[in-house]
């Protein structure tokens, strides 16, 4: 006999334990700002509701203070898989190569008897490990007629819209596993491209918000005064950096000689992927609106602020339309869980890799430690464990996802994992929870956003910019829009000193590298 009785007993133990452990359905999007999830409230809640994501919040917990550790796509995903900050898991910037041989939560769940799958956006530049099944988008992927990389390395193109197709594939995997491994619990990461740039809506949602005036953020025309000198050097403004064809959807062949100001760098990759029927639907919506704008612009009827406001409305209507498809597909997944009697024993999580600027400070994109980029949604439903409608205020971060999944699955959390399990918070036990978070951004000048680091508490935020040795301190209670750093004000001298000490304590605790690295 090849294996001893002890080993066989171990295997039997895994099987018995697996039947008792809950399924984990991780629904993930890209660049989803919490202000566009109606359960989080705010001025967009009535304008663009998200009823299916809201259902999760109503039936579970909506975390009010959820943050990322490094606000950029690939690093956030690596952090979620490893429970470690970017400098430890090795994926510090987009373009890095994730080391697939390192420990991940997927590998641990798979080894303990979970049936594992990841479908959709991966963005880590290596093939997934620790998954029984995977189908992933190459790089950022495409909204229309996307290509998915298969487990044999082949690439297949699928007609349709990426958000729908990703959900189709997730449901198909759940259907298939009924026959293959029904005795196992599952861990499914269903990961959408949307609402990432280029904010291209499903054709059925073109015009969904055309007659809706989207409220402008108070800081749409920020002048970047009273804060770090690096802010004014940014290259992510709706005013100066939003591309006419790529972002605003006005192709060069539509302009009839009207000269628009720069930039216009990237063309129309999504439109170029469409089939003739798709292009016809696209053109029937966008072309008349574009012609109206071009007439007004060419006649000199629009000030620069008028143009910014028009671009903001176009941006937001497209962004919200991509969110609409995400919400619909969250609903499809919940409906599948319900119809297949999986609701009671399935934990469902909705999150996104980071937040996103929707005109705040005049910006689109993410990266900065300012709230709109730093915050990320975290909503979780766990029947009979999490009180429906609860809204924990504890400071959580994406380093906490992996240890939470392990704790749910009754697996020991490795000492090298830097996050903490959230299970006690699910039950309202947060007395010994952390009081501060550490943030790092390591990219090298993309969108002219400098490397910066910081610490956040319930009320204050300290940011450090090593390129020019600047500190910024924000009192989030008095200044929720982060318009003035108070680091040099005498009344904040002690607070500044305390937060600097906490900043360096956290860097030592997490074994963070020197700023020069």
With 0-12 CB in 10 A as exposed, 13-18 as middle and 19+ as buried, what is 412? exposed
- In the prediction, which pLDDT does 182 show? 64
**In whole angstroms, what is the distance from residue 56 CA to residue 59 CA?**
5
151-180: pLDDT as tens digits: 999 999 999 999 999 999 999 999 999 887
418-442: pLDDT as tens digits: 999 999 999 888 889 999 999 999 9
- In the prediction, which pLDDT does 180 show? 74
- In the prediction, which pLDDT does 430 show? 80
Read off the tokens for 305.
């602020």
396-420: pLDDT as tens digits: 999 999 999 999 999 999 999 999 9
Query: E strands along 423-469, which residues?
Result: 437-441, 452-456, 460-465
Give, in order, the Cα–Cα distances in Å from 460 to each of 39, 130, 396, 479, 495.
Answer: 25, 39, 15, 10, 9
- In the prediction, which pLDDT does 7 show? 36
Q: Are 74 and 360 in contact (CB under 8 A)?
A: no
The residues, any chain, with a CB within 8 Å of residue 431's CB and separated by 6 or more, are none
Pairing of strands 133-137, 115-121: parallel
218-242: pLDDT as tens digits: 999 999 999 999 999 999 999 999 9
- In the prediction, which pLDDT does 129 show? 98
- In the prediction, which pLDDT does 514 show? 87
- In the prediction, which pLDDT does 302 show? 96
- In the prediction, which pLDDT does 181 show? 55
- In the prediction, which pLDDT does 516 show? 62
- Side-chain-facing half-sphere of 253: CA atoms under 13 Å: 5
Number of residues that make up the chain: 517
The residues, any chain, with a CB within 8 Å of residue 348's CB and separated by 6 or more, are 25, 27, 56, 60, 333, 334, 337, 380, 381
- In the prediction, which pLDDT does 128 show? 98
- In the prediction, which pLDDT does 3 show? 35
Q: Name all domains of the chain by residue range, CATH numbers in brackets.
A: 5-200+315-429 (3.40.720.10), 451-509 (3.30.1120.10)
- In the prediction, which pLDDT does 270 show? 97
Q: With a cut of 70, which residues of the chain have pLDDT below it?
A: 1-19, 181-182, 516-517
């Amino acid at each position: 006999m090849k294996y001893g009785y002890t080993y066989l007993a171990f295997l039997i133990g895994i099987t018995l334990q697996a039947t008792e452990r809950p399924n984990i359905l991780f629904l993930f999007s890209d660049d989803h700002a919490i202000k566009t999830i109606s359960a989080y409230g705010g001025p967009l809640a009535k304008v663009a509701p998200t009823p299916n994501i809201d259902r999760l919040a109503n039936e579970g917990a909506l975390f009010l203070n959820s943050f990322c550790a490094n606000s950029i796509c690939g690093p956030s995903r690596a952090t979620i898989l490893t429970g470690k900050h970017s400098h430890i898991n090795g994926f510090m910037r987009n373009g890095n190569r994730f080391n697939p041989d390192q420990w991940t939560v997927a590998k641990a769940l798979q080894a303990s008897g979970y049936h594992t799958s990841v479908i959709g956006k991966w963005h880590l530049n290596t093939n997934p490990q620790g998954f029984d099944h995977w189908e992933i988008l190459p790089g950022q992927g495409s909204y229309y007629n996307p290509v998915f990389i298969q487990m044999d390395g082949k690439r297949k193109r699928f007609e349709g819209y990426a958000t729908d197709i990703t959900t189709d594939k997730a449901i198909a995997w759940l259907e298939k596993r009924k026959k293959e491994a029904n005795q196992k619990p599952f861990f499914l990461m269903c990961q959408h491209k949307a609402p990432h740039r280029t904010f291209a809506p499903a054709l059925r949602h073109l015009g969904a918000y055309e007659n809706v005036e989207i409220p402008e953020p108070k800081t749409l025309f920020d002048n970047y005064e009273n804060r770090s000198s690096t802010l004014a050097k940014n290259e992510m403004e709706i005013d100066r950096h939003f591309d006419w064809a790529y972002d605003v959807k006005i192709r060069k062949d539509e302009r009839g000689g009207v000269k628009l100001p720069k930039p216009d760098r990237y063309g129309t990759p999504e439109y170029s992927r469409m089939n003739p029927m798709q292009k016809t639907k696209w053109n029937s919506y966008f072309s008349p609106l574009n012609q109206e704008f071009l007439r007004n612009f060419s006649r000199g009827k629009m000030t620069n602020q008028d143009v910014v406001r028009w671009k903001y409305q176009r941006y937001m209507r497209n962004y919200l339309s991509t969110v609409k498809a995400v919400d619909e597909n969250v609903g499809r997944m919940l409906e599948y869980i319900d119809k297949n009697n999986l609701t009671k024993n399935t934990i469902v999580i909705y999150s996104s890799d980071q937040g996103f600027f929707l005109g705040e400070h005049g910006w689109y994109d993410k990266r900065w430690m300012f709230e709109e980029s730093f915050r990320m949604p975290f909503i979780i439903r766990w029947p009979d464990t999490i009180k429906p409608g609860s809204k924990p205020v504890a400071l959580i971060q994406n380093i906490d996802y992996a240890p939470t999944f392990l704790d749910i699955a009754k697996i020991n959390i490795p000492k090298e994992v830097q996050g903490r399990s959230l299970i006690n918070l699910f039950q309202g036990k947060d007395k010994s929870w952390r009081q501060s978070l550490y943030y790092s951004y390591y990219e090298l000048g993309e969108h002219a956003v400098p490397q910066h680091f910081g610490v956040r508490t319930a009320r204050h935020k300290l940011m450090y910019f090593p390129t020019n040795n600047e500190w910024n301190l924000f009192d989030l209670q008095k200044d929720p829009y982060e318009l003035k750093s108070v680091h040099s004000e005498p009344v904040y001298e002690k607070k500044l000193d305390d937060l600097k000490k906490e900043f360096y304590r956290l860097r030592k605790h997490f074994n963070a590298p020197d700023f020069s690295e």
